[in-house]
């Protein structure tokens, strides 16, 4: 998507550079994420941006513009006191439980940098000899970088509820339960690209023959959410080894906290425009010449054209039976709740990556499984995390993400029966299935 948009801008630039306008702009005002939350409140802070643009006017009043903008955005988010955020976890004894976090005076200061590509219709009309009124309306696609989150709370109550025995543990620091005071931490959160509706208006003043100053207002409003949804992640991570270093996860991706996360930016904008229109040449009167002699041009002999031989494309490489067997052998995740690639798995995945690089016409179905410990919902989540871990590792080995398709079947379809208990580790696995790419 990013590559296509960049090519489109370059093509439009080749058209506009011949005879239209290039502009440089700077703007500032409240800029960030507008949250809709039932348990908290977000506030925009001051941000700003710079950009370069190209405008092609196809009449005296109408034109179309594009370019590249870069913006700095920041805002805050505060949770209401008394709010408890719950997720399901597995403790160091492989027991599933409900992890409850109850913060007091919880606040996040957030900021991120984003690049945007606008496409807008422009209208202008003269209101004085050197002054014009202009309007612009259209859309933008924004590609945000990672959001930096600085989280803090005067108190965090970390508790665990074990439904099997109807027990709440809230004061066992050595196992991750207890009270933390004056807590703060920093993390980063990934954001999704967003489509925005954009509007601008103001006045332009002619400074020189081909130079204009634009002053006015702008508004950008997001039509899609920025949050990458992580509904099964708490605001802080569970640590079975203690409560001394509680790590923040952020709130933006948790749909139980934030229902919508739309972008909003508004403020004052200044642009300096330079016309690239070439001066029209004066018409040249044709000269009259008297023809005194007519000569017949010699007939050119046709030269035979030698045709180049047609090259036959190389034959498609086929997977061998040994390669297919090696790839499709299950990847073992033997520890309960483990979703990380172990050194043993890394060695196998390195070889699998080599096979996939040599067989570009082959896709891969990646399916995660668990044993029957824990709830069905939690096991589906762990299965997907295991599949994602394998996909991420292969992507780092330069395997294209669009060739990998992720699934989770949790505790369903066990490789062997879950009884006796010795069988359970065999069911904690990821299976790979090779398929021909369409």
- pLDDT of 278 over the 90 cut: no
Predicted confidence (pLDDT) per residue in 379-411, tens digit = 999 999 999 999 999 999 999 999 999 999 999
78 vs 333: CA distance, rounded Å: 38
Q: Give the mean pLDDT of the chain.
A: 86
Are 97 and 156 members of one domain? yes
Each residue's pLDDT tens digit, 248-272 = 999 988 888 999 999 999 999 999 9
Tell me, what's the pLDDT at 179?
95
Q: According to the model, what pLDDT value does residue 265 have?
A: 96
d(CA 384, CA 232): 12
Domain hosting 53: range is 2-275
- Rounded to two decimals, the pTM is 0.59
Q: Within this chain, do residues 241 and 389 fall inside the same structural domain, yes or no?
A: no
Res 276 pLDDT > 50: yes
Calculate mean pLDDT across residues 105-128.
Answer: 95
H or E element in which residue 379 lies = helix 376-396
The Cα-based distances of 38 to 41, 42, 248 in angstroms read 8, 11, 21
Residue 283 lies in a domain: no
User: Is 242 in the same domain as 348?
Assistant: no
360 and 242 inside one domain: no
Last residue of a domain, one of 275, 302, 337: 275
Tokens 């590792």 appear where? 393
Count of domains for the chain:
2
Q: What is the DSSP string of 309-331?
A: PPPPPPPPP---HHHHHHHHSPE
CA torsion 247-250-251-256 (nearest 10°) is: -50
pLDDT in tens, 127-141: 887 899 999 999 999
Angle between helices 376-396 and 343-358 (to 10 degrees): 60
Q: Kindly state whether residue 387 falls inside one of the protein's structural domains.
A: yes
CATH number reported for the structural domain that contains residue 54 in this entry: 2.40.160.20
* 312 is a domain residue: no
Asked whether the predicted pLDDT for residue 47 surpasses 90, the reply is yes
In the 8-state DSSP scheme, what is residue 279?
A: P
Whether residues 55 and 161 fall in one domain: yes
Quick check: is 298 in a domain? no
């Amino acid at each position: 998507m990013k590559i296509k948009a960049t090519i489109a801008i370059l093509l439009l630039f080749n058209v506009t550079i011949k005879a239209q306008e290039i502009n440089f702009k700077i703007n500032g005002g409240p800029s960030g994420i507008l949250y809709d939350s039932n348990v908290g409140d977000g506030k925009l802070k001051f941000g700003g941006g710079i950009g370069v643009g190209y405008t092609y006017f196809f009449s005296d009043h109408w034109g179309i513009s594009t370019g590249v903008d870069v913006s700095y955005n920041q805002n805050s988010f505060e949770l209401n006191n008394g709010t408890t955020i719950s997720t399901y976890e597995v403790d160091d004894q492989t027991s599933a439980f409900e992890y409850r976090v109850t913060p007091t005076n919880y606040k996040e200061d957030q900021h991120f940098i984003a690049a945007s590509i606008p496409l807008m219709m422009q209208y202008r009309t003269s209101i004085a000899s050197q002054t014009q009124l202009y309007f612009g309306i259209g859309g933008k696609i924004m590609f945000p970088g990672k959001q930096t989150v600085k989280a803090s709370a005067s108190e965090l109550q970390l508790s665990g509820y074990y439904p099997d025995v109807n027990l709440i543990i809230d004061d066992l620091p050595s196992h991750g339960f207890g009270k933390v005071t004056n807590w703060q931490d920093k993390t980063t959160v990934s954001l999704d690209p967003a489509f925005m509706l954009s509007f601008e208006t103001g006045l332009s003043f002619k400074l020189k023959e081909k130079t204009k100053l634009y002053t006015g207002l702008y508004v950008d409003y997001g039509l899609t959410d920025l949050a990458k949804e992580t509904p099964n992640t708490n605001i802080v991570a569970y640590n079975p080894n203690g409560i001394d270093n509680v790590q923040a996860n952020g709130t933006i991706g948790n749909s139980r906290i934030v229902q919508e996360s739309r972008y909003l930016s508004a403020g004052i904008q200044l642009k300096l425009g330079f016309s690239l229109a070439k001066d029209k040449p004066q018409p040249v009167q044709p000269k009259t010449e008297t023809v005194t002699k007519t000569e017949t041009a010699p007939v050119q002999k046709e030269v035979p054209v030698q045709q180049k031989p047609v090259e036959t494309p190389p034959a498609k490489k086929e997977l061998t039976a040994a390669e297919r067997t090696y790839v499709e052998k299950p990847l073992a995740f033997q520890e309960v709740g483990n979703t990380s690639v172990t050194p043993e798995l890394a060695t196998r995945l390195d070889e699998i990556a080599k096979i996939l690089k040599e067989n570009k016409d082959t896709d891969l179905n990646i399916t995660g499984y668990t044993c029957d410990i824990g709830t069905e919902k939690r096991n589906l989540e762990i299965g997907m995390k295991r599949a994602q871990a394998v996909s991420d590792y292969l992507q780092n080995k330069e395997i294209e993400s669009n060739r990998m398709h992720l699934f989770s079947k949790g505790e369903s379809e066990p490789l062997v029966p879950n009884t006796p208990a010795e069988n359970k580790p065999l069911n904690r696995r990821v299976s790979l299935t090779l398929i021909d790419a369409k």
